[in-house]
Chains A and B, each alone.
Chain A
Amino acid sequence: MRPILLSGHERALTQVKYNSDGDIIFSVSKDHVIGAWYSHNGERLGTYHGHQGALWTVDVDPTSTLLASGGADNTMRLWEVKTGKLLKTWDFLTSIKRVEFSSDGRQLLGVTEKRSGQLSTIVVYEINPDPEAEQTDEQSLKIVCDESKATVAGFSYMAQFIIAGHEDGTVSQYDAKSGELLYSTQVHEADMQVTDLQWAPDRTYFITASKDKTAKILSTDSLEVLKTYTTDTPLNSAAITPVKDYVILGGGQAAMDVTTTNARQGKFEARFYHKIFMEEIGRVRGHFGPLNYVAVHPLGTGYCSGGEDGYVRVHHFDKPYFDFLYEVEREQKQQASL
C-alpha cells in the first residue's frame, strides 16, 4: 500500500471528506483554504478561497455540486464545487464547528460554538440544489444546546432525526422537524468530549469517537450502544468501512503534548478494528502528528486521513485488506459454498 501524500496545506488538517462517488477528496485546514483533490492520483483540482479564519469543517452534497464549510471566522459558506465560486455566506456570532448535508442534500446543518455569552446551537437551512439559485437566509430550525455544547451533529436517515454529540460525552437525538429533544444519553465518560460522529452508509447506525479513548457504534433509533472499541489514546475520529466490516479510528495525544514525545509513543496511527468482533486487527502509521480526521472511500476501496502535521495521506487498500477473514468467517463461508 503506497499512500499518496497531499501537502497542499500549510497548517493542521481539521477535516477531510470524500464526495459520494469517492473520486474527490475535500480537505480543510487551519490555513483558511479548502482543497479539492482527485482521490485516485492525488492531483489537486483546486482551492476555495474566501474564509478569514481557521476552518473546522467541510461537507459536500450528494451530487457533488455544492460544498459547505465552516470555520473560526464565524461564517458558514456555500461553494460551487466545480468552479470554486463562493455562493453564499451565513454570518454567526461564534465559530462553526461542524456542517453536514442531509442525505438528500436539501438541508444543511451547522453547529455553532459556545463562546462570549452565546450558547451552542444547531442551525438548519433549506438548500436549493441549483448552484445558480439564491440561497435562503432563513433558518428553518434552530436548536439551542443549553446543557452542554454540541461538538458534532448529523442528519439521520430520511432526515428524521438530528443526532448530536456533546462536550460532556453525551449523545442526543432531536426531532429534525420540530427540534424537540427526544432522548439524550451518557455514552462516553463524563466530561470527555465527543470528537467525531460518522454514519454507516444507510445512516441507521453511526460511530462516535471520544477523548475518553473509546469509539462506539450506536443505533440511530434507540441510541443504544451496539459496539465499543477501546484504545489507549484519545480519539479524534472514527469511520465505518463499507464492503469489509471494519472501523478505522484515528487519534493520538493532544497536539500540545506532541513535542515532548517521539512518533511511536505519540500513537499517531490509524487503527483498524473489526466492526463485529471489536478486536484490533492492524495499524497504519505514517503521520507524525495526531490524526484529526479519517474518512473512508464510499466504495470501501481506500481511506484518507488528515493529521495535525499538515498532511493528508490517501490510502488505496490492497489485497490483504480484502482477503482478511476471521476463522469463523472463513468456516461460515466454506459451509455456505458446500
Chain B
Amino acid sequence: MSRAAGRTDWAEEEDDDSVQLPQQQITKNKDGTETITTYSIREDGKKVKTTRRIKKITIKQVVNPRVAERKHWPKFGAEKGKPLGPQTDTTSVAENISFRPTSNWKASNEDKSEIDAKKNVLKDAKIKCRICSGDHWTTKCPFKDTMAPEGEAAGAADLGDDAPPEQGGLGTGGSSYVPPHLRGRGGAGEKMGGKFERDDLATLRVTNVSEFAEEQDLRDMFSRFGHVTRVFLAKDRETGRAKGFAFVSYADRSDASTACDKMDGYGFGHLILRVEFAKKAT
C-alpha cells in the first residue's frame, strides 16, 4: 500500500490518513509564548489536533548546594537515557484545586450533612401503596393495572370526579392537613352541589360547549392559564354526549380570572364558548 502508487479507491483513503500524522509543530510567538501543535488519533479513530499555548517563566530559587547537585544527577532505572524535564507518560498536572483553610470548616460541612440527614429521614418514612397498601410506591405496585386505588373504587363512578392524583397520596397518609380544594368535603352538607362549592372561588362555568367535546379537550385548553385541578363536563347518562356545560377549577383564583377573560368567546368546535365564574348554588 504505497502512497506513491496513487490511490484510486476512496476506501483506501482513510487507512492511509491514519498512518500519516503531521509532526509536532512548535512555533515561537512574539510575546514570548510557544504554541505547540500535536496530532494524535483518538480511540474512535478520529484525528485530533491539539494546540497548546505555553508561557515559560523562569523562577530563580536559591537552594542548598546538595539539592542543586542532585538536580544534575543522571537518570537511572526505567528513566535511563531520557531527556531532562518531566516525561509526559509519568508526570502530568492535575486540575486546579482551591484549598483555603477555614476555621468553621466543619460547620459549613455540617449543613451539607443535614441535608443528607433529611434525605435519610425521607428514605425511612413509611411508604404505603394506595392500591394494595404494601410498602412500595403506588407506581411500583404489581397490581396497579388490575386494581383501582383503595377508597377511590367507590368514588370513581360519581360524577367522573377528576381529582388530582396527589389527593389520595396525601389523604391516606393520615396527616391532618387538608388541601384547600378538599376542605369542606365530608363536612356539613353532603348534597350534590357541595362538591362544587368547595372551590367555587376559582371555578369557571363554561357553557355552550359542543356536545362532542371531551373532558381532555377542555383540560388542554384551560390548563394554558394555570394549574387546573378539576374539570367536570356534564354528560348525558344515556347517550354519553356532553350536555353543553362544564366546570373548570383552578388551583389559583388569578389563573381562573385570566382564563375567564381569554376563553370567553373562544371558538371551540362549531360553537363559541361562554365562560364565567361559577355561582354558588343556591
Contact = CB atoms under 8 A, between A and B. Distances in A.
Interface of A: 1-8, 21, 23-24, 33, 37-38, 41-49, 64, 82-84, 246, 272, 274, 279-286, 313, 315, 317-318, 320-321, 324, 326-327
Contacts of A45: 73, 75-76, 79
Contacts of A44: 75, 78-79, 86-87, 90-91
A286 B94 CA distance: 9
Interface string B38-57: 00000000000000000000
Given A41-B86, A46-B78, A282 B99 contact: yes
Contacts of B95: 2
B94 A2 contact: yes
A2 B70 contact: no
Interface stretch (B59-67, B141-149, B167-175, B249-257): B59-67
Contacts of A3: 93-94, 97
Given A45-B73, A46-B78, A315-B99, 12 more contacts: A2-B95, A3-B94, A5-B91, A38-B71, A42-B91, A43-B85, A44-B78, A45-B79, A46-B75, A282-B99, A286-B94, A324-B100
Nearest to A3: B94
A256 to B, nearest CB: 24
Nearest to A319: B100
A7 B90 contact: yes
Interface stretch (B102-110, B197-205, B236-244): B102-110
A43 B77 CA distance: 14
A279 B106 CA distance: 8
A272 B103 contact: no
Nearest to B84: A43
Given A4-B94, A21-B66, A46 B103 contact: no
A64 B66 contact: yes
Given A3-B97, A46-B79, A282 B105 contact: yes
A46 B76 contact: yes
B101 A4 contact: no
B100 to A, nearest CB: 4
A21 B96 CA distance: 26
Given A21-B64, A84-B77, A6 B90 contact: yes
B98 interface: yes
Contact of B101 (A2, A21, A23, A320): A320
Nearest to A8: B90
B92 interface: yes
A288 to B, nearest CB: 12
A171 B103 CA distance: 31
Contact of B97 (A1, A43, A82): A1
B97 A285 contact: yes
A200 to B, nearest CB: 20
Given A21-B66, A286-B97, A4 B91 contact: yes
A134 to B, nearest CB: 22
B77 A327 contact: no
A324 B103 CA distance: 9
Contacts of B91: 4-8, 37, 41-44
B77 A281 contact: no
Given A2-B94, A46-B80, A281 B105 contact: yes
A1 B96 contact: yes
Interface centre among A6, A21, A45 (most CB of B within 10 A): A45
A283 B97 CA distance: 10
Contacts of B100: 282, 320-321, 324
